[in-house]
Amino acid sequence: MGELQVTCDPAEVGLDRERLRRIDAHFARYVDEGRLPGWLVLVSRRGEIAHLSTCGARDLGSGAPVEPGTLFRIFSMTKPVVSVALMTLYEEGALTLDDPVADYIPSFADLRVYESGPASAPVTRPAEEPIRIWHLLTHTSGLVYGWQRPDALGELYRNAGLAGLNLPGENLADLADRVAGLPLLFDPGTGWTYSIGVDVLGRVIEVASGLPLERFLAERIFQPLGMADTGFWAEEGELHRAASLYAVGPDGRLTLTDPGDGMARRPKVPSGGSGLVSTAADYHRFLQLLLRGGELDGVRLLGPRTVGYMTRNHLPGGADLQAFARTPFGEAVPGEGFGLGFAVVQDPVAVRAISSPGEYHWGGAAGTVFWVDPAEEITVIFLTQAMGFGTRRIRTRLRQLVHQAIVS
């Protein structure tokens, strides 16, 4: 779709150029202090890219800089993409949100809920409600992540190989059956816990569509939108653009965990929850699709009512994430609910950050962040590769710095 670049004078879309530069000055310090290897930030309003900047290195060893076309692992920013893919099937009548997951994955019948006991002899009881597709989309299924809980339930997940970034099994069908054999934290629909549920959703997409997940996403999302650099691995010829992955240690120092060429590994089990590689240009197009109500450049993937439905708070009784969450999680903050793949701002005062009601967002484990503000017609993307740095602190400062630059 051409090289990523600024497409307007910020003043043309009501943004102050000098105030936007505060974003760069603030986050440059993170690189100067060795807290991030490098980053890219993109601010768009009314469909025009008003601010695009990069800083630091995509690989600290070689000093290769972050550039507009750098490839990043986006981890959990994969989840909104898979949620959109699922909703294209919903619009075709291939499934309903109330469908029990067991209708597509039989091993999800007769689920049990963890009550007590060690991982070697857990005490469980029958679940009072089946997991439905809606539960997977909203993280209210009772499934968890193995890394999230230090207790016996987390140990059960870890023993099943569900603790790291690489999913176990021969394929998504195998993975889903492994997950179905584990007890739930709570009865579906009675709490919120970030979970492996969107990986299970990937298997639902395969069964409902008759296509492998990677092929479905390529044919139904990436190719129509011109997202040529997005997929579950990077081609060998593109690895010169790939960013290396780092982890933030207890001392705040960065340690290399996966060089850029690690993106060439084709996974046996594609992760619908965290597996995609992408670029700022590609993800910008995905966000523009959402901002425009499911259509971009004459291509419509979803109807506007569907996008509106996905990006409203679905938690029972209008609860916010902090009140409904059953596992401590940094993204579960007051004033925000959760929709079908996105956290959604309900009350900016409770969030304690300048924002708009209806603004929706998510992030990834390596510090990647995005949000869409329909009221202000703004989309924002921040990309870096530092595991453990935390998306909340990036989003908090970035929100301040973007919103203070809006002058009309």
Query: The domain spanning residue 181 has which CATH number?
Result: 1.20.58.710
End of a domain among 152, 183, 209?
209
253 and 217 in one domain?
Answer: yes
282 and 270 in one domain?
Answer: yes
End of a domain among 209, 241, 266?
209
121 and 78 in one domain?
Answer: no
Q: Which residues pair with 41 in a beta bridge?
A: 53, 382
221 and 204 in one domain?
Answer: no
Judge whether 397 lies within some domain: yes
228 and 188 in one domain?
Answer: no
Judge whether 186 lies within some domain: yes
Q: For residues 270 and 172, what is the distance between their CA atoms, to the nearest angstrom?
A: 7
202 and 225 in one domain?
Answer: no
Q: Considering the entire predicted model, what is its pTM? A: 0.97
296 and 169 in one domain?
Answer: no
| Per-residue pLDDT at 330 | 67
For the chain, the domain total comes to 2
As given in the structure block, the two tokens for residue 52 are 């695009």
47 and 115 in one domain?
Answer: no
* pLDDT tens over the chain, length 408 residues: 568 999 999 999 999 999 999 999 999 999 999 999 999 999 999 999 999 999 999 999 999 999 999 999 999 999 999 999 999 999 999 999 999 999 999 999 999 999 999 999 999 999 999 999 999 999 999 999 988 888 999 999 999 998 777 899 999 999 999 999 999 999 999 999 999 999 999 999 999 999 999 999 999 999 999 999 999 999 999 999 999 999 998 888 999 999 999 999 999 999 999 999 999 999 999 999 999 999 999 999 999 999 999 999 999 999 999 899 988 776 778 999 999 999 999 999 999 999 999 999 999 999 999 999 999 999 999 999 999 888 888 999 999 999 999 999
C-beta separation of 50 from 379 below 8 A:
no
306 and 319 in one domain?
Answer: yes
| Per-residue pLDDT at 2 | 61
- Residue 255: phi and psi, rounded to 5, are -120, 130
Judge whether 89 lies within some domain: no
Judge whether 192 lies within some domain: yes
Instruction: Report H helices in 141-279.
Output: 152-159, 172-180, 197-209, 213-217, 223-225
Q: What is the C-alpha R_g of the chain?
A: 20
- Please name the helix (run of DSSP H) or strand (run of DSSP E) that holds residue 48, with its range, or none: strand 48-56
| Per-residue pLDDT at 9 | 98
Catalytic residues: 76
The domain containing residue 395 runs over which residues? 10-84+212-403
